[in-house]
Structure 1
């Protein structure tokens, strides 16, 4: 099955638990349609570069999935219809990188990568 990475932003007035429950909800949608969530990360409440739906901040979540295209389309459709989700981005990837995403790595680790170049 194809591999995908999804990032979505939910409204700032949700609690952390509610934002994390959205990740579980959309993971179950994938599972119901024959896919699976390989890894998920909750990036927290972050300030956005510009306002989206009159919100300056949003809860960011990241999913690594292994799912057929119809399952991904259904999940995206439900994300776009959900009132709490403001933005969705899905990318098809060849393979999932090992370890945490760049957003979850410590700042020192990211700075060390720049120095090596």
Structure 2
């Protein structure tokens, strides 16, 4: 089996609970085809570079998986059938890093640099 990194973009009007359900369904497909989910990350609701099917934003979800050809075919079929998934990307890699992705690192460093300068003077 080979390692793959997949990014899934889900419509902006889908709730967080539904995003989790979509990803859980994909994880179940991976398990059914003897694949392995090595890493998952939710990157949040992000603005798209260009409008896709009248969507200006999308929920980004990253998955690092170990998969074989039949599994990849089934994932492709499932994502094409889903009306909530507007775009996917699948790239073969040599290994999947256990470290947070650069997007999550940038997000967490932005959160750490926020300083509350409000004053409680009465």
TM-score range, shorter chain: 0.7 to 0.9
Secondary structure at the aligned position of 1:80 is classed as helix
The answer on 1:20 being equivalent to 2:20 is yes
TM-score relative to the length of structure 1: 0.87
Q: How far apart, CA to CA, are the structure 1 residues paired with 2:77 and 2:47?
A: 25
What residue is the counterpart of 2:71 in the other structure?
71
| Count of aligned pairs | 109
What residue is the counterpart of 1:51 in the other structure?
51
Secondary structure at the aligned position of 1:19 is classed as helix
Instruction: Give yes or no for contact 2:8–2:87 (8 Å, CA) kept in 1.
Output: yes
**Contiguous gaps of at least 5 residues in structure 1:** 110-117
Question: 4+ runs of 1 displaced by more than 4 Å?
Answer: none
Instruction: List per-residue Cα deviations over 1:44-103 (Å, max 9, x = no partner).
Output: 110111100001000000000011121012112111110100001000000112311111
What residue is the counterpart of 1:2 in the other structure?
2
Instruction: Give yes or no for contact 2:39–2:98 (8 Å, CA) kept in 1.
Output: no
**TM superposition shift of 1:17:** 1.6
Secondary structure at the aligned position of 1:100 is classed as coil
Instruction: Give yes or no for contact 2:46–2:57 (8 Å, CA) kept in 1.
Output: yes
